[in-house]
């Protein structure tokens, strides 16, 4: 653990590491599906196309994110107030996560969010523990642009302090 003096000096710097804002969608292997606001998503490989996604260990979604399971990663546009607000509050496992949100079914059977700039479909390859989060390696299998990609203006999150959202 860092001492408070180090945290005070590192926090404002670490918080300025920019991250995109995404909605990670997964299912429980049955009928339940949900979405989670995820701001720690990073491309990890060109070939094959892979990203990493960090999910707080306290989230029930970790029980659903098993090796081989399907996911969608929906990129949120700058200025978006709908997806950020809807999924940012956190949803219970039995909640209708997509009520009031326009979706279309992806090739993997999970919802793609039409209000997002784009959606990527993939599958979980592996996971590792990282402090208070679990990092998932996801192979991207397909992508859908919901608007002209040349006009993308992604929602980028910069925090005041690197030790909290």
Instruction: Spell out the residues 6+ positions from residue 79 whose beta carbon is closer than 8 angstroms to its own.
Output: 153, 155
What pLDDT is stored for residue 156 in this prediction? 93
Provide mean pLDDT across the span 112-124. 98
pTM, to two decimals: 0.94
Residue 146: pLDDT band (50, 70, 90) is very high
For residue 122, give both structure tokens: 């993939």
What pLDDT is stored for residue 149 in this prediction? 87
Residue 27: pLDDT band (50, 70, 90) is very high
Residue 89 predicted with pLDDT over 90: no
The 10s digit of each residue's pLDDT in 9-19 is 999 999 999 99
Please, what is the average pLDDT of the chain?
Answer: 95
Q: 39 in a domain, yes or no?
A: yes
Least confident of 38-52, 98-112, 125-139, 146-160: 146-160
Q: 74 in a domain, yes or no?
A: yes
What pLDDT is stored for residue 164 in this prediction? 85
Q: 164 in a domain, yes or no?
A: no
Q: 151 in a domain, yes or no?
A: no
Residue 30's DSSP bridge partners are none
State the Cα angle at 94 between 72 and 90, rounded to 5°: 60
Residue 24: pLDDT band (50, 70, 90) is very high
Residue 132: pLDDT band (50, 70, 90) is very high
Alpha helices in 66-148 (DSSP H): 82-88
- Of the two residues 74 and 31, the one the predictor is more confident about is 74
Any idea what the CATH number is for the domain that residue 50 is in?
2.30.110.10
> Do residues 154 and 19 touch, judged by C-beta distance below 8 A?
no
What pLDDT is stored for residue 1 in this prediction? 80
What pLDDT is stored for residue 153 in this prediction? 94
> Do residues 20 and 41 touch, judged by C-beta distance below 8 A?
yes
Identify the residue whose tokens are 């998932």.
Answer: 136
Domain that holds residue 104: 20-145
For residue 1, give both structure tokens: 């653990």
Using DSSP's 3-state secondary structure scheme, residue 63 falls into helix
Q: 48 in a domain, yes or no?
A: yes
> How many separate domains does the chain show?
1
Instruction: Spell out the residues 6+ positions from residue 158 whose beta carbon is closer than 8 angstroms to its own.
Output: 15, 16, 17, 18
In this structure, the chain runs to a length of 165
- Identify the CA nearest to 80 among candidates 138, 21, 27, 132: 21
């Amino acid at each position: 653990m860092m001492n408070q003096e180090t945290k005070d000096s590192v926090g404002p710097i670490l918080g300025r590491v920019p991250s995109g804002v995404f909605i990670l969608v997964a299912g429980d292997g049955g009928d339940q599906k949900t979405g989670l606001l995820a701001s720690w998503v990073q491309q990890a490989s060109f070939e094959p196309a892979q990203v990493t996604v960090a999910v707080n260990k306290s989230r029930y979604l970790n029980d659903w994110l098993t090796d081989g399971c399907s996911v969608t990663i929906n990129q949120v546009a700058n200025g978006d107030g709908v997806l950020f607000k809807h999924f940012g509050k956190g949803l219970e496992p039995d909640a209708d996560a997509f009520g009031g949100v326009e979706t279309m079914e992806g090739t993997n059977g999970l919802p793609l969010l039409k209000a997002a700039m784009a959606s990527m479909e993939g599958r979980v390859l592996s996971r590792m523990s990282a402090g208070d989060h679990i990092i998932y390696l996801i192979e991207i299998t397909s992508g859908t642009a919901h608007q002209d990609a040349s006009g993308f203006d992604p929602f980028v999150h910069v925090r005041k302090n690197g030790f909290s959202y």
